[in-house]
Amino acid sequence: MALILGLESSCDETAAAVVTSDRQVLSHKLAGQETEHRPYGGVVPEIAARAHVEVLTPLTQAALQEAGVTLDQIDAIAATAGPGLIGGVMVGLVTGKALAMAAGKPLIGINHLEGHALSPRLADPELAFPYLLLLVSGGHCQLLEVRGAGDYRRLATTIDDAAGEAFDKSAKLLGLGFPGGPAIEAAARIGDPGAVPLPRPLLGSAEPHFSFAGLKSAVLRARDAGVHSAEDIAASFQQAVIDCLTDRTRRAIGRAPGMNALVVAGGVAANGAIRAALQGLAAQHDLRFVAPPLWLCTDNAAMIAWAGAERFAVGLSDPLDMPARARWPLDPTAEKARGAGVKA
C-alpha cells in the first residue's frame, strides 16, 4: 500500500491530502478564498496566489498530522503542475518539489484535469477503464475517453467559454453572488426553466463540441430587457446548459463504443439537475452512470493524490525541473476544434 501526499493550488482552493493506493482518504485539508474574491465577483489571480503562499505549508502539516504519518513515511509527492492560474500552480508545484527533495521522495506532477478525470475511481472501486468522461468545470468543458492513467482521447471541447465560466459570469450578471454555480442552481429551483427563450449553441451539430459564450450574452440581453425575474433567467439558463450538455454527450456516446460507463466530473458536476439529466441519458444508452461525491467534484487535493497513486502504480514520476503550465491538454494529439479560440 502506497501513501501519497497531494497538493492542489490551481485556482482559488488551497488543499493538501494524504491518500492510500487502496482508496483510503486519510486526511484532506482545504482552505477556500470566497471572502477574498467576493468583492470582485470572480477570482483575482494575484490575490489567489498570495493566499496559497500563506496557507499551503500549514495545511500540508495539518494533513500529515491528521493522517498520522510523517513526511518520511510518504511514498510520493503529487502536486498540481497545471493547467490553471500560473501563480497558484507555481506555489503548489514548488512546494511539492521542495518536499520531494527534502524527503528524497518521487515527485509526480499532476495535470489538474487528470485529477478530475480519475477522481471517480477513488470513490468507486468498480469503475474500470475505459469510460466516457464529461469534464465540466470553471475552465474546461470536454468529453474524453479515459483509457488509463496518462491515456486519454479527447472527443470534444468548448470552442469558447466553459460551462462553469458561463455559470459564474451569468450569476454575476444577474447579481446572484459568488461562486456562481451554486447561486444559479439555488435561484433556478424557484424559477421557471421555460420562461426565457435562450439559445442552445451547437445543439444538433455533427461534432460534439460545446459553446457557451452566446448563451452568456443572451443572459445579458434578457436581464437588460427587464421583463423576467433573475430566478426565471437563472432557471432558463440552467436548462439551456443541460440541453447542450446532454445533446453533445449523446453525440459523443455514438463516437465512443466499448465504454464501461458515462462519468461526469468537475465543479459543475456538483449541480443536481445536471447530474439527473446525465443519469437519464446514461440509462437511455444502457451505460452505467458514475459521478463522484460532491466534495470530490470541486477542486481538492484528494483527487490530486489519487491521480498520483494511479501514476505511481504504473511507475510514472517527474523530474524536479518540470515546469508549471498555465495550459496543459490531456490529449496533446487532439485537433483544435473548428472555430475554437485560444482557450480551447
Residue extents of the structural domains in the chain: 3-117+299-313, 128-291
Tell me which DSSP letter residue 23 carries: S
The maximal CA–CA distance of the chain, rounded, in angstroms, is: 63
For residues 9 and 29, give the distance between their C-alpha atoms in angstroms, rounded to a whole number: 12
- Which residues are registered as beta bridge partners of 152? 146
Specify the pLDDT at position 274.
97
Count CB atoms within 10 A of the CB of residue 315.
7
Q: In what order do the strands lie in the sheet with 141-148?
A: 151-157, 141-148, 131-136, 261-265, 288-290
Rounded to an integer, what distance in angstroms lies between the CA atom of residue 86 and that of residue 324?
Answer: 7
| Those residues with Cβ within 8 angstroms of residue 285's Cβ, 6 or more apart along the chain or in another chain | 250, 253, 262
Query: How far apart, in whole angstroms, are the C-alpha atoms of residue 167 and residue 140?
Result: 12
Please check whether the two domains, 3-117+299-313 and 128-291, share a CATH topology.
yes
CATH topology of domain 128-291: Nucleotidyltransferase; domain 5 (3.30.420)
Q: 149 in the Ramachandran plot: left (φ > 0), alpha (ψ -120 to 50) or beta? A: beta
Cα-Cα-Cα-Cα torsion 186, 192, 193, 198, nearest 10 degrees, comes to: -110
What does the pLDDT read at residue 343? 53
Which of 151, 157, 145 shows the shortest CA–CA distance to 336?
157
CB 136 within 8 A of CB 165: no
DSSP 8-state code for residue 322: P
Q: What is the C-alpha to C-alpha distance for residues 126 and 189, in angstroms, rounded to an integer?
A: 33
**Below-70 pLDDT ranges, the chain:** 339-344
Q: Which CATH class is domain 3-117+299-313?
A: alpha beta
Residues 80, 149: Cα–Cα separation, whole Å: 15
Which H helix or E strand runs over 123?
A: helix 112-123
The number of beta carbons lying within 10 Å of the beta carbon of residue 59 is 23
Q: Exposed, middle or buried: residue 224 (CB in 10 Å: 0-12, 13-18, 19+)?
A: exposed
CB atoms within 10 A of CB 197: 9
| H or E, element range at 339 | none
Half-sphere exposure of 92 (CA within 13 A, CB side): 41
> 25 — alpha (psi -120 to 50), left (phi > 0) or beta?
beta
Query: pTM to 2 decimals?
Result: 0.92
| Segment 276-306, tens digit of pLDDT | 999 999 999 999 999 999 999 989 999 999 9
